[in-house]
C-alpha cells in the first residue's frame, strides 16, 4: 500500500493524465471559463482551516488508517487561464459526501451514517504546471442531487471560483439535477468527467490501475462569473 501511495504522489504533478476538455469558444483558441456553481451549505469551515497538511488522499485519514468505503478514483487536471497558461500557486480545495451521501458538516441533517475513515475534504496548491490530482471515492447520491464533488479555486489576481464536478456515467441522474441543468451544454461538458481505468503511474502502461477522471479548470475574468440558485 505504501508503494501505491508513493506512485500516486509521484503522479500528482504528471501531465500525462491531463486530458483537456473539449469546451472551447468559437473564437480562436480561448477556452470557456469553468462555470461557477453554488457553494452549497456544507463547505467545511472551520474544519478545513484546522488542516495542518495539504493532503489530497481523501480515501483515508492517514497512512495507517483504514480505507473509506466506496469506489476509489483519482481526479487530475490543471488550472489554466483562457489562453491555457498554467496557473501556479493556486489553491485547489475539494469537499464531498462519503459513499452514503453524507457530508461531515453539522448542517447536514441527512440521517445516513458517516464514514469514520473518509477524509471529507482536501486542499493543495498547484506547482508551475498548474496541475492538481487527488484520490477520493465516488461520492454518494443524496436527495435532490446527482453525485458531485465541490471545488473552490483561489488563484493570485483572479476571482475565486466555486464549482462542482460531475460524472458522465450518471447522465440519467445528472439530467434530473437542477443545479447541473442550470448550465448550458458547453458548461456541462466542462464540469463533467468521464472515468476510465488508467495506470496509477501514468509514465507506465502497465501496473496497478485506478479509475481516473480529468478536470481542466479555466479561470476567466470577473465578468464571466455568475451565481446559481442556493442549495
Contact pattern from residue 134 through residue 173 relative to Fe ion, giving x for each residue in contact according to CB under 5 A and a dash for the rest: ----------------------------------------
Nearest CB to Fe ion, comparing residues 59 and 163: 163
Q: Which of residues 26-65 bind Fe ion (CB under 5 A)?
A: 40
**Least distance CB 70 / Fe ion (angstroms):** 15
**Least distance CB 139 / Fe ion (angstroms):** 8
**Least distance CB 166 / Fe ion (angstroms):** 11
Cβ-closest position to Fe ion: 40
- Write down the residue that cell numbers 465516488 correspond to: 138
CB atoms within 10 A of CB 56: 21
Nearest CB to Fe ion, comparing residues 31 and 39: 39
Nearest to 58 by CA among 132, 140, 147, 119: 119
Bridge partners (DSSP) listed for residue 65: none
Q: What CA–CA distance (Å, rounded) separates 48 from 113?
A: 21
199 is a site residue for Fe ion (CB under 5 A): no
**Least distance CB 153 / Fe ion (angstroms):** 16
Nearest CB to Fe ion, comparing residues 32 and 97: 97
Nearest CB to Fe ion, comparing residues 12 and 75: 75
Nearest CB to Fe ion, comparing residues 132 and 180: 180
Number of residues that bind Fe ion (CB under 5 A): 1
Nearest to 139 by CA among 73, 216, 48, 231: 73
Nearest to 73 by CA among 165, 3, 154, 153: 165
Cell of 140: 454518494
Q: What CA–CA distance (Å, rounded) separates 139 from 224?
A: 28
**Least distance CB 130 / Fe ion (angstroms):** 25
Question: Is 57 in contact with 67 (CB distance < 8 Å)?
Answer: no
Cell of 21: 476538455
- Residues in contact with Fe ion by the rule CB under 5 A: 40
Amino acid at each position: 500500500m505504501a508503494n501505491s501511495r508513493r506512485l500516486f504522489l509521484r503522479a500528482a504533478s504528471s501531465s500525462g493524465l491531463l486530458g483537456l476538455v473539449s469546451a472551447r469558444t468559437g473564437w480562436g483558441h480561448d477556452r470557456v471559463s469553468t462555470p461557477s456553481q453554488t457553494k452549497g451549505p456544507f463547505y467545511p469551515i472551520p474544519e478545513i482551516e484546522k488542516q495542518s497538511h495539504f493532503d489530497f488522499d481523501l480515501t483515508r485519514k492517514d497512512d495507517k488508517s483504514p480505507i473509506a468505503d466506496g469506489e476509489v478514483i483519482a481526479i487530475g487536471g490543471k488550472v489554466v487561464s483562457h489562453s491555457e497558461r498554467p496557473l501556479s500557486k493556486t489553491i485547489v480545495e475539494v469537499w464531498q459526501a462519503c459513499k452514503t451521501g453524507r457530508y461531515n458538516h453539522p448542517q447536514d441533517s441527512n440521517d445516513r451514517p458517516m464514514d469514520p475513515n473518509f477524509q471529507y475534504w482536501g486542499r493543495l496548491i498547484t506547482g508551475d504546471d498548474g496541475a492538481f490530482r487527488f484520490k477520493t471515492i465516488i461520492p454518494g447520491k443524496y436527495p435532490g442531487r446527482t453525485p458531485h464533488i465541490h471545488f473552490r479555486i483561489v488563484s493570485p489576481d483572479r476571482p475565486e471560483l466555486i464549482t462542482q464536478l460531475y460524472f458522465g456515467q450518471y447522465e440519467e441522474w445528472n439530467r434530473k439535477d437542477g443545479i447541473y441543468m442550470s448550465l448550458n451544454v458547453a458548461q456541462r461538458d466542462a464540469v463533467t468527467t468521464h472515468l476510465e481505468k488508467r495506470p496509477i503511474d501514468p509514465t507506465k502502461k502497465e501496473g496497478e490501475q485506478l479509475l481516473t477522471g480529468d478536470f481542466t479548470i479555466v479561470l476567466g475574468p470577473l465578468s464571466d462569473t455568475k451565481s446559481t440558485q442556493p442549495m
